[in-house]
Structure 1
Amino acid sequence: MTQAYFVTGTDTEIGKTTIAAGLLHAARQAGLSTAAAKPVASGCEPSAEGLRNSDALALLGECSLVLDYTEVNPFAFAPAIAPHLAAREVGVALTVAALAGPVRHVLGRGADFTLVEGAGGWRVPLAGRESLSDLACELGLPVILVVGVRLGCINHALLSAEAIERDGLRLAGWVANIVDAQTSRLEDNLATLNERLPAPCLGRVPRLAEATPAAVAAHLRLPAL
């Protein structure tokens, strides 16, 4: 049975890609075929092949299916700014319809385990009044929420979970990514998240000296999905 999930976060720079790559690695270790998509990425670097995004490359590196970079990341922009602003600057209409086609192509490859990673949090704007959350709704994918554990994370996590539910999607699970190891009352914060988030915790990832996919995977558990 194939599984596909949309990965979002409580904010930007909270380790969505680190966790997504770890989940893909864990799936590969479990003998599952893997694929991924990061439909839009800003902050890309020029290369001989075109603009490349480090997060998209990390996901591509954990795909067992043979995918081209442009299949994983069809919309790549150089400025490290909000994707809708980066797209506007180069005259690209960043719509749900434009993003959904390439993602459906990756989903159609039929991997056992596929992740579609968003950008930033749940309500990242696209063109017009659309948001990346509308893409998840269009695709009908259950959601994995990466919680960047630091001061304020409980509010961000609960609001994100409420928005996901209100949009009609299932929160399949969440991951506690400890971005601030000095968070006051860390254990109490994690206990509160466990009590209040309406989905299983897929793992608690500490601050790692080297957050490789293999190292992250050691702290995750797919069966909870």
Structure 2
Amino acid sequence: MSYFVTGTDTGVGKTLVSCALLHAFSARGKRVAGFKPVAAGCDDDDHNEDAKLLRAASTVQATYGQINPYCFHRPIAPHLAARHAGVNIEFPRIMASYRELAGQADEVIVEGAGGFCVPLNDRQTSADLARQLGLPVILVVGMRLGCLNHALLTMHAIAHYQLECAGWVANVLDAGMPALQENIQALRERIAAPLLGVIPCQPQPDARAAVAHLNLEMLEIKETDG
């Protein structure tokens, strides 16, 4: 079983949750691989920090290019970063890399770029990629002011693309967020998918520490049923 991790926005903790999932499944004896199809913002070695973290959390041997087939220097919207680089993001290349990883791993955690509907090229979005991959979606909700609207709109988009939401994670970005628990409860009442965990605010995000705040029993039940 593999999953597509998306978020309510950029910078809401998709990499944190993706790496935590990789560590959690690895601890259960699974061969795991992280996959970042498209990344905008890379270092002088043409490597993206999020993709490097996913690779480090993986247990299968994979090249950086397999983990992250498209990486662009400018930290802007992916389709714009690609345009500035003179590159067109093509889904067949992404799918080929995904199949290579899926052939080696029991679980592939695919981390999307930005929010669910961010454009990847002139015609296709991250949502189109999720649909082509056909994977259950895990939604990371960045808990801060405005998150209810972002979360519910993203859930509507996931349903529009006829994809299953396997669960959602509340990642607390603002330690002082007013009515935090009430906001989490409001989402529990409105999102049919299970809440997989609440990750407290971390000044320095730690994926291994985040594992303790995730309850993957619902995912395991879905995998068994599937």
Question: TM above 0.5, one fold?
Answer: yes
1:161 alignment partner in structure 2: 155
- Partners in 1 of 2:20 and 2:56 — Cα distance? 11
The 5-angstrom pairing of residues 208-219 of structure 1 reads 208-219=202-213
1:174 alignment partner in structure 2: 168
Are 2:100 and 1:105 equivalent residues in the alignment?
Answer: yes
- Partners in 1 of 2:172 and 2:77 — Cα distance? 24
Of 55, 60, 71, which aligns to 1:60?
Answer: 55
Are 2:30 and 1:36 equivalent residues in the alignment?
Answer: no
**Secondary structure in structure 2 of the residue aligned to 1:120:** strand
The 5-angstrom pairing of residues 19-34 of structure 1 reads 19-34=17-32
Are 2:122 and 1:128 equivalent residues in the alignment?
Answer: yes
Are 2:177 and 1:189 equivalent residues in the alignment?
Answer: no
| TM-score where L is the length of structure 1 | 0.94
- After superposition, what is the alpha-carbon deviation per residue over 1:14-68, rounded to whole angstroms, capped at 9, x for unaligned? 1110111111111112222111110110110012xxx011100111011111111
2:80 alignment partner in structure 1: 85
Are 2:90 and 1:95 equivalent residues in the alignment?
Answer: yes
- Partners in 2 of 1:12 and 1:210 — Cα distance? 17
How many angstroms does 1:209 deviate by?
Answer: 4.1
Q: Residue 8 of structure 2 contacts residue 151 of structure 2 at CA under 8 Å; is this kept in 1?
A: yes
1:199 alignment partner in structure 2: 193
Q: Residue 44 of structure 1 contacts residue 53 of structure 1 at CA under 8 Å; is this kept in 2?
A: yes
2:67 alignment partner in structure 1: 72
2:224 alignment partner in structure 1: none
Q: Residue 95 of structure 1 contacts residue 130 of structure 1 at CA under 8 Å; is this kept in 2?
A: no
Q: Residue 19 of structure 2 contacts residue 34 of structure 2 at CA under 8 Å; is this kept in 1?
A: no
Amino acid at match of 1:178: V
> Unmatched 5+ residue regions in structure 2?
220-226
- Partners in 2 of 1:9 and 1:73 — Cα distance? 18
Q: Residue 173 of structure 1 contacts residue 199 of structure 1 at CA under 8 Å; is this kept in 2?
A: yes
2:222 alignment partner in structure 1: none
- Which has the higher relative contact order, 1 or 2, with Cα contacts under 8 A spaced 6 or more apart? 1
**Secondary structure in structure 2 of the residue aligned to 1:119:** strand
Give me the CA root mean square deviation: 1.1
**Secondary structure in structure 1 of the residue aligned to 2:3:** strand
Q: Residue 202 of structure 1 contacts residue 220 of structure 1 at CA under 8 Å; is this kept in 2?
A: yes
- After superposition, what is the alpha-carbon deviation per residue over 1:152-209, rounded to whole angstroms, capped at 9, x for unaligned? 1011111101110110100000000000111111110000111111101111000124
Amino acid at match of 1:90: A
- Partners in 1 of 2:85 and 2:186 — Cα distance? 44
1:16 alignment partner in structure 2: 14
Amino acid at match of 2:4: F
> Unmatched 5+ residue regions in structure 1?
none
- Partners in 1 of 2:127 and 2:161 — Cα distance? 8
